[in-house]
Structure 1
Amino acid sequence: MFKSQLIMILYLILFNIHPIITDDLYDFRFISYNESLYNMEVYQNGDDVFDAIVIDQQRNQIIIGAKNAIIRLSIDDFHVLERFQWESSINEINICRSQMKSSNECENYIRVLALRSSDQLLLTCGTNSYQPICIWRQPDSLSTIISNEKFIPGDGKSPYNSQYSSVYNLIDTGELYSATSNEPLFGINDPLIQKSFSQNKQLRTQQHDSNWLKNPYFVRILNIGQYIYTFFREISLEHLSCGTNVYSRIARVCKYDDGMMKYSDTFRSYSKLRLSCSKKLLNEITSFDFNELQSIYYDSALNFIYGAFNLQKSGLVGSAICIYTVDELESVFKSSFLTQKSNESYWLPSSMKQEAEKCESNQSNNISSIPLGPVLRSGVLQSSFDALVFDDIHIGHLLVDQLNDITILLVITLDGLWLRKYSLLLDRKLCLIEQIQLKSPMISANSWKINKAEFISKTKEIVITTSISVLKISVARCNRFNTSYLCSASMDPYCTWNNHYQRCILSTESSSSSISYQSLTCPNLNITIDGGWTSWSSWFLCEQDTGEKCHCRMRSCTQPKPQYNGKFCQGNQIEINRCEVHGGWSPWSDWSICPQICGKIFRSRTRTCTNPEPKNNGRICIGSEREEEPCPEIICSSETSRLSTWSEWSLCSKVCGGGIQKRRRTCLNNNGICNECLDEIRICNELPCPIEQTTMWSNWTRIISNDDELNNDDMIREIRNRFVCTIPLTTDQQSLVIKSDKIMYRICDHNGNYCQERDSLGQWSQWSHWSECYPSCGIAGSIQTRRRTCLDNQCIGKNIEKRDCSFCSSQLKSNWSCWTDWSECSLCTSTQSYSTKFRTRICLTNTCNGLSREERSCLCPSYFPFFNDYRFTLIHLVLMSLISFLMGCLVILCVYGLYYHHHQYRDKYFQRSTSNSSSSPHTAIDSDTFTTLSNTNNNQIKFRHFDSGSISATDINNYLKDIPSRKLNMYINPRDIVLTPPPPPLVTLKRTSLMSSMKTNLDADDI
């Protein structure tokens, strides 16, 4: 099986030839089906006739309707979240077959899937064997039916026949507008546009009236403003006398329409007009019309409606895209109605006075805002811009994306074979950027039909439902361009070259390096294109010729252009790893030496399973590791063979774990000398001793890291160990063995709540070098960036770091990096007032002029924090004045005392004044970072403040025992104490808080 898979993949890679659809066989814009598989996800698991699509980005899922099933797929990896089987009952199938319906039609085809915005319920409707039915379900559990909802008849919501076209739109108010075809009786077709789930009543178009609808093919329903617009094509009424002709139409109804009469279910506000898309010919008088509307896309941001039109299927191939504005659409709907006097008369504008139309929520049902008879408007909606013509394809589906003011058209051909990507240039011309083959060559055209297509703008992917599979394909395939020249030459608006990673990456709307609208051109095909490897495929099982299974992955060489001196890829196309290795025996060792003693003795030899050693689930060696054979027997004389019988074996020395037993015999000759062994030992009780084992977890301990990124992301990281305690039960002693076998981490928010456990915190790569200053060195606001990469997809922290570089000198832009910040004053002592500080820079090239290090003198920090600030404020002035006044009073008092008191009291007075002026032990300078505690041994411990560090639990216990009554000038939160040593404090210069002297002295026993 694995051989066949490997051969098939090799065949697809070796014969990955682009189809000949252009003169240039090596045109990099064209991507074959096999190459497109690298950026495509395919779901194909026995279901068929996939149709309806719902993109549920809130739950990161895609809901698909198929025949007799609804499937939920993950948006990311396209795996199946749920598959719900929804089949018709046996009775319903029998009734369907009794009405001359084929067995293929007597199934339940899911045609309607829509999410209601108010309560996020999923509306599901199916054909149900010609008895359409609907039900509301939970979008995250399809088998769960809402308890207060019942099965709803699906007439007008889902077609009876799965082959009929149908469209729908579930608007924000919860009302469903649908356009389909009923067939309650065999052969009776009833096309209609219907409004369901309304608070008033259900409305529809006039039944069996060809003026309202004439064999329509419905394309799209749009909700714009106060109106609902239905786009379709039908047989025209205006030219029936000249033969059958198809026109494209737009029908409009007011959202607040209550019907024509009280008991009528017909729209009052229904009207329609012609939608035209034509190309002016050279004489600018006549035009070429594209009549068959095929696809509609509405851009709500620009209020543009994009329409894709085809020529009638009469042998001519050609399509066009026309763009309409909503303002012009509303203006044309103000035109007069067309009427005819008889069925054979011309259609002429109505002579009836037309009142101004109203569409308001409080519109009275008794006031007729429009005439009740005519519905066809005389106006024709023309394209607001020149038609975009395609002369080689028929368009099946049209999707539109906007990126940096560039319009990107995504066109799927009617036969479902190609997906084309165009960019709209400044001169309203189209450029083909990419063409992707969607259908495998092994799938026949008869079994391939594309039903629906939806665009996911966030991920730049298209979800497509076909008759046999569901596809998700990326339209941003930047990894194909392996050089900056090729990336820029492709002119793909989605792609831009990243100099840091040296690869072509997806550009975003905020990216400054993406292609601008003014510089956009068609791709440059006349370039040198070397062969480039595609990304490696995922690992899969493969089998070698010898039968061993391995893990293989493959890649293909794409885009070689020999006519432009392009080089083919260098390297391996397939990579093999982790192959099975079956074990093999090593050669036998030499036989052991036979002892020269009497009796029958054996010798042995051994071998090991190491030639090679089994790996990766390889087979182990089969056979014996040891062989024995008897040694040549030595016959002893009667004088030397007189021995007593063996004694009984002694008790085993151990009850378990391998003890020994002994027995003896004696020599019976006169001299008591024999050559045989008189003692024999054997092993006993070899079974291992029972082991008592228990496990325990340590408490969660906060991790303190020197990485500022980890400390500044408002997340708490904690660690704990699992310890295994083992006590072997032996007869002689019991030894306790403790070891840690597992480490767990958890991450909590800054409040310690909402914790998540994981096996590791991830591993970052080294930081890259700092980038150049952007926009320029020396300009205010300029920044430098550096990046790092997560190596195991579990990292915590930021992968990008920025810093300001507006301070660097303008003369060093070319070769030097920006200067670092000035360091703090170093080598300061109590007697030294001045020292030096420095800054450095790095040479970015091999030649740099100037110094890489600068030094300057600086003033050492004062031991009184009051003077550490270089600003002199009003508070400083008041305090200095007060201190000067007190010092003056003190001098006067000293002079007074010396003058009037006896000389014998001088020493006493001087001692008292000195003690009074000394600093209190509790008025030490308070720091915002550390607090110093002193004990009786004159030792000092620096405890990190509970906002920024940790201390050792052992140090805390030792020092707090020594100072039971000492008053401490801080409060330590025991929960913040961790068992890791604190990192060295940062050298900072902080202004002492004026409130620090007001802290309450707490007793050390309270801590």
Structure 2
Amino acid sequence: MRPFVIIFIWLAGNLRLVLGVILKDAPTLGLTNTPRLLSKDTVSGGFAYQVSQNHSVFFYPEDSEEMYIGGTDFVLKLKMDDYRVIEKFTLKTTGQQHCQEGPCENVITVIEKFQDSLFVCGTNGRKPQCWKLFPSVNNQSHEIVESYEGKGISPFVYTHNSLSLTVEGDLYAAAPLDADRSSLQFRRRAGRRTNVWMYDSWVTEPTFISASWVKRKEDPDNEKIYIFFREKNSDHSPEADPWISRVARVCKVDEGGSKRFFQNMWTSFLKARLVCGFPKESLYFNRLQDIYVLHAEDWHDTRVYALFTSSWNSTAVCIYSVGMIEEIFENSTFKGYNKDIPKPRPGTCLKDSRTLPPATVSVVKDYPEMNDWVHSIQYTAPFYISDNNYTKIAVDQVQAVDQHVYNVLLLATDSGKIHKVLEAGSEPFIISETQLSNSSTIHSMKLDSKKKKLVVGFSEKISTVDLQRCQEYKNSCEDCVLARDPYCAWTKFGCTPTVPGGIQNVMNGEISVCPTSVEGQKQVNRTKREIDSSSSVNLSLTAHSVPLSVPFYLSCPIDSYHAVYTWEHKGQSSPCLQMQSNCLHLIPAMAQENYGVYECVSKEKDYTKVVKKYQLTQHMIHTMPESNTPKINDASAVALQTVTIILGLAVAVSTN
């Protein structure tokens, strides 16, 4: 027996074991609670750092042509169409003599548009500092003007918790006032209005996640700023979760109390518990991870998408409306307060908050927490639950062919992937998974809804993801419609970005909308019986000549992980051996009954198609000539190619 045949037989016996290892992290075929499509290297453009960054922030106004990136000791201004560096601002630590421990570096933590300049703050060697970058004039570079100390705006160390927000010329921030992380609270820190801060007892060891200004065009004096955070639970019993997730609010016009009582303190601060889970079972995802606020014309309809993790290694997305949040703040009783509620009600916005009566402000001071909890829109369960460890969320709105606007969740995993999840009805639909990096996690994420792009920051690079990658569903109208991707519709040019008149069914993915569905059904019927080489099915046939007794395998690509794949041969069906993005059919040793036509058939909902078609014929091995070097014939080439592929798979598994 020739050496390659011996290798083949050994591999045939171990292929299932190899496949089992490879499939450990791959989605299971036929399940709709996993991504329908897996993509790799689907980024358009990007910028690579010269030195990897442990922390980076970027400022990127939607639909802008430019983006500012803050790293260690620098701010870059990039042109977004080609990621060309327009300007570089060096912001090294000032007064390095105060550096006591660790590297004396200035990690940029804040970039905001503030008043007439770009406002930049950094750790500045554990002595937070802020600068203003004024726009260039007459082709001159930006002018950097040192502003003032950055305590309470930038943390002392980039790993410490912080956030910032600008509202109508005012700067709001949360960052520790001391290097030991103490005095962490949400403040109005600079701007036209009075600086205002929190009362010390309002929060316990908080981690601030996000802050958002919700406009009210008809009533601007009643506009609120919502703060999302988690804090330590005062209940220390073993069964209690160590964290409680919160939503708080303050009035935009709040100037603090009178000189006699609560001066420079928020007079409108209220907080409530933000819950996500199963109320009937008292099972909750309590650790808030990230927030995305989707603003609406009517402030009541503004939606809050909240990403939570749990103690049992699962993540969830719950959806809230600002109207529902306000309902709690305006009607709930105050936790621990048993007297008559004074008027005006605590938390009321007044143009001159200094005139609020002491009785109203006293309730805010001592009893800021609401008795009632803020539940999600679904109430009985989260909108989406997953075993993936998601770290960031963004939500885009897409107008489909049916003129309905659909929301698409963009979720970043801790392994460098983006999941695109459709919100259509009560059940989430996971459109796709895109692998952006194999080596690092996602630091930052910014959605450009107008351009339909997602900008993603890693330690080594910044990448742009095109959300309209319709060419991935290019095979047919049915494939395009089954994707249920509101960014894409079937037209005479194929699967293209959604345009009026295109073919689409985002809500259900029903292929009956396709004009070729009748012909498609004819093909379905043909696949139920053996099709020989003279068949007229419009699919290329791949022929292989294989000797008796050698192992052999066939492969076809997986177009959808929601489909079920089978191999059809002489009226018999056998299941697919899944290997990442391929379906295999393994023949341990070729026998006479193994020759003939094989079809790889996929079935998703009501759509069945032949993905790949093979014909195997017997190859006669000629007698080896009397020579020390065997001739490599067709069978040998096929066998050696298969050995190479399977060995390559084994190597790939061992290195990942």
TM-score above 0.5: yes
2:231 corresponds in structure 1 to 234
**1:70 match:** 75
Measure the CA separation in 1 of the matches of 2:485 and 2:356.
57
> Secondary structure in 1 aligned to 2:460?
coil
Contact 1:423 1:433 (C-alpha < 8 Å) held by counterparts? yes
Contact 1:431 1:522 (C-alpha < 8 Å) held by counterparts:
no
- Within the alignment, does 1:474 sit opposite 2:466 as a pair? yes
| 1:271 matched residue in structure 2 | 270
Residue identity matched to 1:478: C
Alignment of 1:916-955 (within 5 A): none
Specify the alignment match of 1:248 in structure 2.
Answer: 245
Residues 336 and 349 in structure 1, CA contact (< 8 A), matched pair in contact too: no
Asked if the contact 1:336–1:350 (Cα under 8 Å) also holds between the matched residues in 2, the reply is no
Post-superposition CA distance 1:392-435 (Å, at most 9, x none): 1122111111223222111112x143210111232x10111100
Instruction: After TM superposition, give the deviation of residue 359 of structure 1 in Å.
Output: 0.9
Aligned residue for 1:429? 427
Match of 1:635 in 2: none
Residue from 93, 98, 104 that aligns with 1:95: 98
Letter in 2 for 1:506: P
Determine whether 1:326 maps to 2:322: yes
SS at match of 2:431: strand
Count of matched residue positions in the alignment of Structure 1 and Structure 2: 483
User: CA shift at 1:241, angstroms?
Assistant: 9.4
Residue segments in structure 2 that go unaligned for 5+ positions in a row:
1-21, 216-222, 400-404, 528-538, 541-555, 560-579, 585-599, 602-609, 615-656
2:108 equivalent among 107, 110, 113: 110
Q: Which runs of 5+ in 1 are unaligned?
A: 1-16, 340-347, 535-557, 570-1007
**Separation (CA, whole Å) in 2 of partners of 1:289 and 1:243:** 11
AA matched with 1:504: C
Amino acid at match of 2:99: C
Q: Which residue is equivalent to 1:370?
A: 361
Residues 326, 25 of structure 1: alpha-carbon distance in 2 compared, 3 angstrom cutoff: closer
Verify the 8 A CA contact 2:482 2:509 in the aligned structure 1. Answer: no
Task: Sort the Cα spacing of 1:424 and 1:336 in 2 relative to 1 into closer, same or farther, 3 A.
Answer: closer
Q: Aligned partners of 1:88 and 1:228: how far apart in 2?
A: 33
Q: Is the 8 A contact 1:423 1:430 kept in 2?
A: yes
Quick check: 1:30–1:434 contact (8 Å CA) kept in 2?
yes
Query: Offset at 1:165?
Result: 2.0
* Counterpart residue number, 1:355: 343
Q: Note the C-alpha offset of 1:383.
A: 0.8
Give 1:294 shift.
Answer: 0.9
Selected match of 1:31 from 22, 32, 38: 38
Alignment CA distance shift 1:59-1:138 (3 Å): farther
5 Å-filtered alignment, 1:576-587, equals none
Is the 1:432–1:522 Cα contact (8 Å) retained in structure 2? Answer: no
Displacement after TM superposition at 1:455 (Å): 0.6
User: One-letter code of the match for 1:78?
Assistant: Y
Instruction: Determine what percentage of the aligned residue pairs are the same residue.
Output: 23
Taking CA–CA contacts closer than 8 Å with sequence separation of 6 or more, which of the two structures ends up with the larger relative contact order? 2
Looking at structure 2, the residues matched to 480 and 58 of structure 1 have their Cα atoms a distance apart, in angstroms, of 25
Aligned-residue offset at 1:520: 4.0
Kindly provide the amino acid, as one letter, of the partner of residue 480 in structure 1. E
Who is 2:411 aligned against?
411
Q: Distance in 1 between matches of 2:511 and 2:88?
A: 44
Residue 444 of structure 2 aligns to a residue in which SS? Answer: strand
Change in Cα spacing, 1:457 to 1:243, as seen in structure 2 (3 Å) is: closer
Is 1:176 equivalent to 2:171 in the alignment? yes
1:243–1:158 distance in 2 versus 1, CA, 3 Å: same
Alignment of 1:880-899 (within 5 A): none
Distance 1:78 1:205, change over 3 A: same
CA distance in 2, matches of 1:568, 1:107: 61
CA distance, structure 1, for counterparts of residue 52 and residue 424 of structure 2: 42
- Rounded to whole Å, the distance in 2 between the matches of 1:227 and 1:295 is 20
Structure 1 pair 367/506, CA: closer, same or farther in 2 (3 Å)? same
Measured after TM superposition, the shift of residue 195 of structure 1 is 0.1
Choose which of 436, 439, 462 in structure 2 pairs with 1:438.
436
Partner of 1:161: 157
State the partner residue of 1:769.
none
1:567 deviates by 4.0
Residue 504 (1) aligns with residue 495 (2): yes
Match of 1:220 in 2: 210
Matches within 5 A, 1:278-289: 278-279=277-278, 285-289=280-284
Cα 1:353/1:96, change in 2 over 3 Å:
same
- Asked if the contact 2:412/2:419 (under 8 Å) is kept, the reply is yes
Contact 1:560 1:566 in 2 (8 A): no
Tell me if 1:126 matches 2:122: yes
Contact kept, 8 Å, 2:484 with 2:507, in 1: the verdict is no
CA RMSD of aligned residues (A): 3.5
Q: Any idea what SS the aligned residue of 2:267 has? A: coil
CA contact (8 A) 2:490 2:504 kept: no
Give the deviation of 1:291 after TM superposition: 0.4
Q: Which residue of 1 aligns with 2:535?
A: none
Give CA-to-partner distance per residue, 1:47-90, whole Å, 9 cap, x none.
Answer: 5134222113565011111111111222222222222221103x
Matches within 5 A, 1:779-790: none
Deviations 1:944-977 (A, max 9, x none): xxxxxxxxxxxxxxxxxxxxxxxxxxxxxxxxxx
Check conservation: 1:401, 1:408, Cα contact below 8 A: yes
Alpha-carbon offset, residue 363 of structure 1: 4.3
Report the secondary structure of 2:366's partner residue.
coil
Aligned mates of 1:25, 1:304 — CA distance in 2: 32
Q: Contact conserved, 1:18 with 1:25, CA < 8 A, in 2? A: no
1:121-163 Cα offsets, whole Å, 9 max, x none, are 21111111111111221356895236xx642211111111210
CA distance in 1, matches of 2:162, 2:415: 19
Q: Does structure 1 retain, via aligned residues, the 8 Å contact 2:174–2:208?
A: yes
Structure 1 CA distance for aligned equivalents of residues 129 and 294 of structure 2: 32
Mapping for residues 955-966 of structure 1, pairs under 5 Å: none
Pair 1:488 & 2:481 matched: yes
Q: How does 1:714-733 map to 2 (within 5 A)?
A: none
Q: Kindly tell me: are residues 297 and 56 of structure 1, through their superposed partners in 2, closer, same or farther at Cα, counting changes over 3 Å? A: closer
Instruction: After superposition, give the CA deviation of every residue in 1:1-54 in whole Å (9 maximum; x if it has no partner).
Output: xxxxxxxxxxxxxxxx99842234999944354x335x4534332251342221
Distance in structure 2 (CA, Å) of the matches to 1:199 and 1:325: 30
Distance 1:19 1:463, change over 3 A: farther
The answer (yes or no) to whether the contact 2:257–2:353 under 8 Å persists in 1 is no
- Structure 1 equivalent of residue 91 of structure 2: 86
| 1:365 Cα deviation after fit | 3.5
Q: Tell me: CA distance 1:293–1:496, structure 2 relative to 1, closer, same or farther (3 Å).
A: same
1:380 maps to which residue?
A: 373
C-alpha separation in 2, matches of 1:324 and 1:399: 15
For residue 331 of structure 1, give the secondary structure of its aligned residue in structure 2: helix
Offset, 1:298: 1.1
CA distance change for structure 1 residues 74 and 232 in 2, over 3 Å: closer, same or farther? same
More strand by percentage: 2
Q: Please say which structure displays the higher CA radius of gyration.
A: 1
Shift of 1:193: 0.6
Identify if the C-alpha distance between structure 1 residues 327 and 59 changes in structure 2 by more than 3 Å, giving closer, same or farther: closer
What TM-score, normalized by structure 1, do the two folds share?
0.44
Letter of the structure 2 residue corresponding to residue 475 of structure 1: L
Cα-to-partner distance string for 1:288-335 (whole Å, 9 max, x where unaligned): 2010111111111241111111103xxx22111111111111111124
Three-state SS of the structure 2 residue aligned to 1:332 is helix
The aligned runs of 1:771-810 (5 Å cut-off) are none
